[in-house]
Structure 1
């Protein structure tokens, strides 16, 4: 117990210190969590030595994060905001494969390696992007909804992507692993279509039952958020998508407004643990011995993802300013990239060296992406507008 208390206290102290520094630099706190994980991880101070265990706990943070996003977002009435993200993400998949093919041809990678690199390009970080959209009050704008819908579509693609990796690793293949997620995706689409014009959903019996009981509110909130996540995982989709759908429904139940206050501390704590676990995974000894390759790969991912996404937005007739801003937001390799790397390594698709390199690039892209977004955003905003 002594050791556990010391570890938690050091985590809080380290995180707070970095957060205060980042607050002065006007940077999001997600960076603080990753840096705290690096400092306290097995390769520096050694306070935390089992990143896998912390990541499992921290994944609850992603569920809560998506749940809150679902509560805040408005399902668009404009059909183009549902169709455009699908078109944009489909274009990105094609460009990502072409880019991965070019990398594979240059580095003489196998087809399995090329497909994995394609997956790393496809998935962005919902946590990083949504935090930026919220910070700059663009989450509920037409462009913000467009980007968020792209990220949701990426979550839908997670199940088939992981199934593809497992098939490549010669694990047993079950056709139900494809059919069930497709059916659930259709059901989600129909649900979104059904509730987008509904202003309020009423559950008067439940509301009266828990109205003045804080303990019941907490556990009901946890059941709704995690229960929907469990249903999605059981169906072969990501738990994050299930929690998001729960948030979309609950966000239209005005009598559930207390949920935000009841679950917010859980969201902050578990999201912190998730990003701390990313920092814990960063092998500094491997990073230093392969510094040039990992750093070059990180900046290549940030730059190429930004250019690909910006061109896609421009093709969809957004102006260059919004296109480059959207490209910057979708520049990083996301948290699902780490999951894809782990599956690929455990099933023997990739070697240990490529796993470590991919992990380093993914972690650094998440760490540097906030700086990258701020930098590109500063460039595309004219000095006159900045003065205003």
Structure 2
């Protein structure tokens, strides 16, 4: 007996058991969680053990996992960030989508389809699976990286295409009637839905959460979070748009809310479970009887469509100056069809543009492409990437979506300590580093930071250097640190600059470049070591502390004097005035320390 025909509890237990058994097994085999969900769905579905006979119903419910995923992504993207991605969304997205539609239509025509059917097939397959791509980016920790943001931008553009494509299918219908909804009304309804959602996000949601927070009832906050996500999704669906797009917009509108982290924590458990359920549903929906009946057509169609779409994605990536490894990676993870194809094919069948047999074949092609994609990703990771000579391309710097009065340049072993100390006091500076891997790792740890090269004036401008009050330069490259100080001083003469110095001579360079405070990276640790040595030699602790303090202030005072007479064009041991100051300081410091030591006797 089918599990879904029994009590609801048996259905839930069956689904959970399938996931709990398959996913760990597939991950242990190195095949990934997505492939585990798909395989489990195939086993328990109507073409496996037959425990479930309505995969479409499960997919429809489980699409809420994708919806919640997009809501969480939206929480990480402030409106200014979305505006900064506008060129990627509309230019890169349009370039990739329309070139892929043309190529896929060509393949459809070669298969003998009419141009109308070929257009429907191409339009459905060109829309990438948001669930698969976002899950892969999330597993890599790549969503907030520059290349991840470009892929997210393309997915957003695909969501925006839903209304025009459905309108195009209605236009192609041979069964047009006078009662059909005009295109202008469809577009107006979609625009109205977006306007209502934006208005609610701007003027209603934050006051609502403030009121609910006063109740101190955690379950009410969780219910409110679910209400926002599902309400936004329902509103967009009513307007003929993507539910995922509605959730994303709601997330963006709440991205600057003080409740953002609470919302993310409340939604995350539901997101993971429902997204897994979605992949189970996709596995169930693979109609093996259709595949076996038309296996040559379907397998060749999957190969042809995935190759054509992947090739277009690769070419567009190369034309937009991506290196071969990154272009190939994007092509592989985005070459499949997506969830929206099911909606488009169903609408086309209802409108009489395609018949039920073509719909079944096209649906099988899309589902099979979704099933194969995780396998292709694994093959790419294990066998292609290790054979490639990776060339790091110059990435665009991250869009800086939050300006603060304090800016830290450098998040290495030195800058991390400075940033951590500030964060412990409640200060959240704008942190920038040009090591993309380091930034990706820090973001995984929850440390807000941005990728970029601070020696470029445009990045300092984007970070708000003109209005900032304090700049900390914590990088270990002497020349670059000096250059950044010079740029910052020119761009904001009033800013206070504290800079990490490699040694005494670098202190002089930073002083002349405009740094207010120069901190030698080894001076304090070396001084502390010297004090430990004196203690180990048996000297009194109070005397040692007094000696250390005297040495510190004498040295700092002399450094400032020496910086004023330093000339980088004269060798360090040939500058007579500098040597004279150094000698005088040594004599005065020794005299003061001897006086301190005499107190002990």
TM-score (norm 2): 0.58
Instruction: Kindly indicate whether residue 181 of structure 2 is the aligned counterpart of residue 173 of structure 1.
Output: yes
Instruction: Kindly indicate whether residue 285 of structure 2 is the aligned counterpart of residue 276 of structure 1.
Output: no
Q: Distance between the aligned counterparts of 1:76 and 1:83, measured in 2?
A: 13
Q: Distance between the aligned counterparts of 1:265 and 1:375, measured in 2?
A: 30
Instruction: Kindly indicate whether residue 369 of structure 2 is the aligned counterpart of residue 360 of structure 1.
Output: no
Instruction: Kindly indicate whether residue 62 of structure 2 is the aligned counterpart of residue 54 of structure 1.
Output: no
Q: Distance between the aligned counterparts of 2:205 and 2:159, measured in 1?
A: 29
| 1:211-290 equivalence runs, <5 A | 212-290=216-294
Q: Distance between the aligned counterparts of 1:231 and 1:79, measured in 2?
A: 23
| Displacement after TM superposition at 1:276 (Å) | 2.2
Which residue does the alignment assign to 1:209?
Answer: 212
Q: Distance between the aligned counterparts of 2:22 and 2:362, measured in 1?
A: 26
Q: Distance between the aligned counterparts of 1:205 and 1:109, measured in 2?
A: 53
Q: Distance between the aligned counterparts of 2:388 and 2:6, measured in 1?
A: 54
Q: Distance between the aligned counterparts of 2:185 and 2:225, measured in 1?
A: 31
| Displacement after TM superposition at 1:301 (Å) | 2.3
Which residue does the alignment assign to 2:527?
Answer: none
Larger C-alpha radius of gyration, 1 or 2?
Answer: 2
Which residue does the alignment assign to 1:93?
Answer: 97
**Structure 1's 104 and 223: CA in aligned 2 closer, same or farther, altered over 3 A?**
same
Q: Distance between the aligned counterparts of 2:47 and 2:319, measured in 1?
A: 45
Instruction: Kindly indicate whether residue 163 of structure 2 is the aligned counterpart of residue 163 of structure 1.
Output: no
How many residue pairs were aligned? 379
| Displacement after TM superposition at 1:207 (Å) | 3.2
Per-residue CA deviation, residues 107-157 of structure 1 (Å, 9 max, x unaligned), is 221122111122123200111111111111211011111110110111011
Say if 2:109 and 2:115, in contact at 8 Å, map to a contact too. Answer: no
| Displacement after TM superposition at 1:384 (Å) | 7.0
SS class of match (1:254): coil
Residue 67 (structure 2) aligned to one of 63, 70, 83: 63
Residue 139 (structure 1) aligned to one of 143, 147, 150: 143
Q: Aligned-residue CA RMSD in angstroms?
A: 3.0
Select the structure with the greater relative contact order (CA < 8 A; seq sep ≥ 6).
1
Q: Distance between the aligned counterparts of 1:202 and 1:348, measured in 2?
A: 42
Q: Distance between the aligned counterparts of 1:93 and 1:205, measured in 2?
A: 39
TM-score (norm 1): 0.88
Q: Which has the higher helix share?
A: 1
Deviates more, 1:330-339 or 1:174-183: 174-183
| Displacement after TM superposition at 1:381 (Å) | 4.9
| Displacement after TM superposition at 1:230 (Å) | 2.1
Say if 2:226 and 2:267, in contact at 8 Å, map to a contact too. Answer: yes
Per-residue CA deviation, residues 185-225 of structure 1 (Å, 9 max, x unaligned), is 7999x99xxx9xxxxx9947733632631121121101111
Q: Distance between the aligned counterparts of 2:162 and 2:233, measured in 1?
A: 14
Say if 1:92 and 1:122, in contact at 8 Å, map to a contact too. Answer: no
Q: Distance between the aligned counterparts of 1:90 and 1:185, measured in 2?
A: 21
Q: Distance between the aligned counterparts of 1:90 and 1:37, measured in 2?
A: 34
Which residue does the alignment assign to 2:48?
Answer: 44
Deviates more, 1:69-78 or 1:148-157: 69-78
Per-residue CA deviation, residues 31-66 of structure 1 (Å, 9 max, x unaligned), is 222222221112221111122322332222222121
| Displacement after TM superposition at 1:337 (Å) | 1.0
TM superposition outliers: structure 1 runs of 4+ over 6 Å: 183-188
**Structure 1's 376 and 182: CA in aligned 2 closer, same or farther, altered over 3 A?**
farther
**Structure 1's 312 and 75: CA in aligned 2 closer, same or farther, altered over 3 A?**
farther
**Structure 1's 217 and 361: CA in aligned 2 closer, same or farther, altered over 3 A?**
same
| Displacement after TM superposition at 1:27 (Å) | 3.7
Say if 1:73 and 1:139, in contact at 8 Å, map to a contact too. Answer: no
Gaps of 5+ in 1: 196-200
Which residue does the alignment assign to 1:198?
Answer: none
Which residue does the alignment assign to 2:354?
Answer: 350
Say if 1:73 and 1:140, in contact at 8 Å, map to a contact too. Answer: no
Q: Distance between the aligned counterparts of 2:196 and 2:153, measured in 1?
A: 16
**Structure 1's 215 and 318: CA in aligned 2 closer, same or farther, altered over 3 A?**
same
Deviates more, 1:333-342 or 1:273-282: 273-282
| Displacement after TM superposition at 1:14 (Å) | 1.7
